[in-house]
Structure 1
Amino acid sequence: MDEMYLMNNLWIMVAFILVILMQGGFILLEAGSTRMKNAGHIAGKTVFTLGIASLAFWALGYGLIYGDSLGGIVGTNDFFFGDFTTQVDGLAGSVDFIFQLAFAAIALTIAFGGFAERAKLSVYIVFAVLFSLLVYPVVAHWIWGAGWIGDLGKQDFAGSTVVHLTGAMAALAATILLRPRIGKYNSDRSSNDIAGHNQVYTALGVLLLWVGWFGFNAGSTLGVDGAFFGYVGLNTQLGAAAGAVAALLIAWAVLGKADVPTMLNGALAGLVAITASCAFVAPWAAVVIGLIGGLIVYGSMKFFEKKNIDDPIYALSVHGAAGVWGTISTGFFATPALAEMNGGQAGLFYGGGFEQLGVQVISVVACGLFAFIASYVLLKATGALTGGLRVSEEEELMGLDISEHGGYGYPENVAYAEKQGA
């Protein structure tokens, strides 16, 4: 068997493992960014929704994305994937399948950021199935399958739109329908800070996501031939670093304090922003894209706060606003050589005119609107099936650990508090 074929498959298996381990990063990020009484719930739902996403992707999701296209809208075959003899993009079919599955699972986890601390467990279960079958596969087919946006020459190397914007728009639909957490906003529309319980968890979660992102972006080269994955990794690192620095500096300048959560979100915003463009831009542009991503995430966080949209994990800002910027950025910065290598046209700043920029904007509008509207409708249907999306006031106040699972994520701490009469 060809040695390069084996090396490519080995690399994508490693990349798959890195992307799956990002779920551990999300567990720590989300649990640390919310209150102790919901930590066990957040960790548990991440694991079981990964299971649901995997089964749904195996049954129908992969075929809906990569099957023969029906009018550029959705795939129509390769359901219940299991033929070990197939080859896709120079890889064993099974290797390609699980790598793509990991991306679908990340999109679902991003979406669930908008549900935090107030959604019923049953809602997670039903919506995980619906999102995995009716939202993510459609957008992914449009861009990565044989869909109409891909035919326009859309540049989205690893998923600023497909994964991050799609998940963020579902999160937006959830935050609107679920309404803010108890105590988040006052009658005069002013807000109260509901601090996460463990900033160290949050920081460690971000670092794990940062490491996993090399599987996400560099793995999307789908091989080791030419070592182009190293170039993609370089741009990924520079984008993340610039996002972290920019967010820290703007928070320090505006607030007078070097706010750690803002800096962490800046690093993630830099990663999200460079995800679309990592294979299309020069390293200096990766720095610029990450810097702007870090600035955008700070402004976006403040914007949603003022609009009384309660987003505990900042999914709308980190994955939504930064995802939009990352997608559009290739329309400015894509170099002629890299565009020729990876698809699409050169960006505006390299003499490519407005053609690629226009394609990027169209894709953001079309995919963002579809993901939001479809998620909103499906969440309405989910609420009808589950008797409402939100837990009762009493259950929310006691915490989802005990109300949904019958035990606390930190039982020793709770026992100590009860002993002290707290």
Structure 2
Amino acid sequence: MKKLSSIFFILIGLLLIASMPVLAEEAVQGQPAATAVTTAVPVAPAVAAVPTAAPEKSVVQQALDTVKNLQVGIDTTWVLITAFLVFFMNLGFGMVESGLCRAKNTVNILAKNFIVFAIASAAFWVIGWGLMFGNGNPFVGLEGLLFASGADNSPAIGDAYKGVYAAINWTGVPMWAKFFFQLVFAGTAATVVSGAVAERIKFVSFIVFSFFLVGILYPVTGHWIWGGGFLASLGMFDFAGSTVVHSVGGWAALAGVLMLGARYGKYRADGSVRPIFGHNMSTATLGAFVLWFGWFGFNPGSTMGVGDGSAIAHIAVTTNPAAAMAILSSTVVSWLI
């Protein structure tokens, strides 16, 4: 009996196993058929025509531009270095003046030499540069007057220059390099006066005078020659400022001396001269060497460009013998008198 029941259950199991594929097929057939999905492929919009880029510069043109920029950089460096040398001359003036004057006036003299360039910087920037180099008439500049703010496209030169400072478009350096070089020249003109009126002018009076000199007098007379004024049209040429800087400074100093008179104690009661000796010859001598050194910026730097270097070398060699002969001649005269 047990065997029969076992055989029965085995047969039932085999029947179930045999029927499973049929049931699975019916289940699949009973499901809804999958619908085909079609996806629309977007059509790319028409692309607008892209303009072709400008043709690149040729290798030769790029090389020429590089050389031009390098030349501007070299000339600018030269102009600024020589301007720094001229600025350094302020130390020389201060040492010479203080050393050759009495000790009690040293502080006043050094203070005047210290502040004179500050006053010159302000005056020349505010109004002096425009009066001197601005386009105008034969007597004064009228364009780009205040704060050196006129139109300018330096370092362009000649016909390529489009600005209001055409009188100084002969040098291919940036405008601010031109400005700084001319500024130290203007400051020198005021410093010349400082030595002439040493020990005889009030500090505040000297400040006012220096501003008026650098802001008005020096630029106006400078315009006559360097600014394309009437003296330039007559053919006057001043390379490094023997007239524009030193003559103007000298005449201003003479006017100051005539107005102020002699130093206190210079003359005795009977009218005879009482010598006033300097108090520090070491300071005066060192100051003279500083000035000698500064002249190698003043004169060669007036080329405002390097070029092939021959002009710079010639000017330097001319400057040095001039100083040397001045020392030798003054030594001989001191022996004879």
Same fold (TM over 0.5): yes
Give the aligned partner of residue 93 of structure 2. 26
Residues 1:250 and 2:333 are matched in the alignment: yes
Question: 25-34 or 155-164: which moved more?
Answer: 155-164
CA distance in 2, matches of 1:175, 1:124: 12
Runs of 4+ in 1 over 4 A off after TM superposition: 82-85
Aligned residue among 95, 114, 136 for 2:218:
136
Q: Deviations over 1:139-178 (max 9, x none)?
A: 1111111111112221321111111111111111111111
Residues 1:16 and 2:80 are matched in the alignment: no
Report the 3-state secondary structure (helix = DSSP H, G, I; strand = E; otherwise coil) of the residue aligned with 2:236: coil
Q: Deviations over 1:315-350 (max 9, x none)?
A: xxxxxxxxxxxxxxxxxxxxxxxxxxxxxxxxxxxx
Give the aligned partner of residue 300 of structure 2. 218
Give the aligned partner of residue 69 of structure 1. 136
Report the 3-state secondary structure (helix = DSSP H, G, I; strand = E; otherwise coil) of the residue aligned with 2:73: helix
Bigger share in helix: 1
Give the aligned partner of residue 196 of structure 2. 114
Give the aligned partner of residue 158 of structure 1. 240
Q: Structure 1-normalised TM-score?
A: 0.58
Residues 1:197 and 2:197 are matched in the alignment: no
Structure 2: state its 5+ residue gaps: 1-65, 156-168
Q: Deviations over 1:353-378 (max 9, x none)?
A: xxxxxxxxxxxxxxxxxxxxxxxxxx
Give the aligned partner of residue 37 of structure 1. 104
Let me know the Cα RMSD of the aligned residues: 1.4
Contact 2:93 2:195 in 1 (8 A): no
CA distance in 2, matches of 1:154, 1:186: 46
Q: Deviations over 1:213-234 (max 9, x none)?
A: 1110000011111211111111
Aligned residue among 145, 152, 173 for 2:255:
173
Contact 1:84 1:94 in 2 (8 A): no
Q: How does 1:353-364 map to 2 (within 5 A)?
A: none
CA distance in 1, matches of 2:270, 2:258: 19
Contact 1:84 1:92 in 2 (8 A): no
Give the aligned partner of residue 240 of structure 1. 323
Q: Which has the larger radius of gyration?
A: 2
Task: Give the C-alpha shift of residue 69 in structure 1.
Answer: 2.4
Name the % identity: 39
Task: Give the C-alpha shift of residue 189 in structure 1.
Answer: 3.0
Contact 2:112 2:194 in 1 (8 A): no
Aligned residue among 113, 135, 139 for 1:46:
113
Q: Deviations over 1:228-286 (max 9, x none)?
A: 1111111000111111111111221x23xxxxxxxxxxxxxxxxxxxxxxxxxxxxxxx
Give the aligned partner of residue 206 of structure 1. 288
Report the 3-state secondary structure (helix = DSSP H, G, I; strand = E; otherwise coil) of the residue aligned with 1:80: helix
Task: Give the C-alpha shift of residue 84 in structure 1.
Answer: 8.1
Report the 3-state secondary structure (helix = DSSP H, G, I; strand = E; otherwise coil) of the residue aligned with 1:91: coil
Q: Structure 2-normalised TM-score?
A: 0.72
Matched residue type, 2:142: T
Task: Give the C-alpha shift of residue 91 in structure 1.
Answer: 0.8
